[in-house]
Chains A and B, each alone.
Chain A
Amino acid sequence: KAGVTQTPRYLIKTRGQQVTLSCSPISGHRSVSWYQQTPGQGLQFLFEYFSETQRNKGNFPGRFSGRQFSNSRSEMNVSTLELGDSALYLCASSLGPDWETQYFGPGTRLLVL
């Protein structure tokens, strides 16, 4: 069974630009969560989607948004990029919202210059 895939794996952007990251969950998984990982703040929850609906949201500004499609694939968008948005963005999938185990993708490493 294929694992969680994320594209692109690496991205370099400049301040003020916007970026869209993509996540394809494991086949049959309907919940997708997004996390930001930085050396200073560690792992922080961004949002969770299930059946195309955002179920939970972390404490991030409105520049961070996401969506989920009917095939469970998810995208997250960051508008007006700031230097502090440089991070590893991880996507995780699980069977459903009351998950026991989340399976993580390899991540997208974003560098904002």
Chain B
Amino acid sequence: ELKVEQNPLFLSMQEGKNYTIYCNYSTTSDRLYWYRQDPGKSLESLFVLLSNGAVKQEGRLMASLDTKARLSTLHITAAVHDLSATYFCAGRNAGNNRKLIWGLGTSLGVNP
């Protein structure tokens, strides 16, 4: 079964600097998701990456997928306070039971 690991689990960022969150997965996953969760709130979809080499960008966030390395990255450009949240990646299990397997999340805080 698919396993998904995120790192780091905690990230204290300084405003204006760039950072990367890594999401490694263990076996074939035909798609990779990134979600954001604010404290006490539900999950907000950020990106869905479907194929090798896929890159998507929205504002200061850019996600990419390397299926050969089984790695997705979420890159943050010039961090701002509004980006403080927990970010989750999830892969879809291959085979008959196509459930989403989630990473533990990366808790981001942005300091002025």
Contact = CB atoms under 8 A, between A and B. Distances in A.
B102 A44 contact: yes
Contact of B42 (A33, A45, A104): A104
B105 interface: yes
B76 interface: no
Interface residues of A, number: 20
B71 interface: no
A45 B98 CA distance: 10
A102 B101 CA distance: 14
Contact of B97 (A42, A56, A100, A106): A56
Given A42-B102, A48-B99, A56-B97, A106 B88 contact: no
A8 to B, nearest CB: 15
Interface in B92-112: 97-105
Contacts of A64: none
Interface of B: 31, 33, 35, 41-45, 48, 50, 88, 90, 97-105
Interface of A: 33, 42-45, 48, 55-58, 90, 92, 100-107
Given A45-B99, A56-B99, A100-B48, 15 more contacts: A33-B100, A42-B102, A42-B103, A42-B105, A43-B102, A44-B102, A48-B99, A56-B98, A90-B43, A100-B31, A102-B45, A103-B45, A105-B42, A106-B41, A106-B42
